[in-house]
Amino acid sequence: MIRSLLTVTDLGREGFHKLLDLAAELKEAKRDGRERPVLTGRNIALVFGKDSTRTRCAFEVAAYDQGAHVTYLGPSGSHLGREESVADTARVLGAMFDGIEFRGFGQETVEELARHAGVPVWNGLTDQWHPTQMLADVLTMREHHPGAVESIGYCFTGDGRGNIARSLLMTGAMLGMDVRIAAPAALSPPQSLVEEARRLARASGAQVTVTEDLPSALDGAAFVYTDVWVSMGEADAEWDRRVPLLTPYRVTAEVMAATGRRDTRFLHCLPAVHDTTTQAGRRVHERYGLEGAEVSDEVFTSPASVVFQQAENRLHTIKALMVAALGG
């Protein structure tokens, strides 16, 4: 049975939780030195149209831990979409590999790969969805919140149209969580997506809130989540448009305090613009006078920040994804 993961709702509520349970087991086994490889002899293709740190490393280490081999094809490492169609590339890779990861721009590309490859295809990120990130995010929330997942309330603040906000909206709605998206009206999630999330929420018991009012979205939130204001591949001019819109939604110590909880945690998919030690951070400071963009360094480096545990969990959840698809 082919077990691809193309969008955040592909697994369904039960499948999502089963994969997280497997990820938790694999994480514990790795920590205790008792991991048992079940992917020996398997070959995985990693097709990257966008560069990455966490996604590439997570897939590679997960595969190696489980005895599999990987072949990395970077942005200029194949003919995909230039000299060769997506369908033809899918057929070639599917004949040589047991599974394919794709990270790039168009959702239609990963879906066409899945239609023609004949092996599992996993979405490592597209402009619309980031399903492997959602697995890591909810595992991290489970680890830092007592009780059922359905009791968790989280607030995403920032650009509500991006793949992270879209994915958080639909994941929370599917799992029965209390999901809040706080964004300026010009950067709010598409209304059709909000309506689909509310349809899922009616079935799962989730609460879905999309609002411009950040303080109301923060109230009682166990987790505050944000993402970069301008993503890889977008025009530099987008900074001039988005900084005035998004500055009121940046995560500061005051924003964290506004949840009214002492145990609120901070999440970010990374990389983050939180200080002036990077080219992006220095440019934001020089052009807009901000020390960090979407999050202050005070929050990013605080005890409330669990972003590096969240990043590590990419490894364990991606490993679970591959084991579930190919280990049987």
Q: Which residue numbers are catalytic?
A: 103, 130, 133, 227, 269, 314
Cβ pair 323, 100 in contact under 8 A: no
DSSP one-letter string for 96-156: H-SEEEEESS-HHHHHHHHHHHSS-EEEEE-SS--HHHHHHHHHHHHHTS-S-GGG-EEEE
Tokens of 225: 């989540």
Which contiguous run of DSSP H or E holds residue 93? Answer: helix 86-96
**Lookup result for tokens 């190696």:** 64
Tokens of 37: 């490889």
**Lookup result for tokens 């697995």:** 135
First-to-last C-alpha distance (Å) of the chain? 10
Q: Which letter does DSSP use for residue 269 in this model?
A: -
Cis peptide before 190 (omega within 30 of 0): no
Cβ pair 159, 227 in contact under 8 A: yes
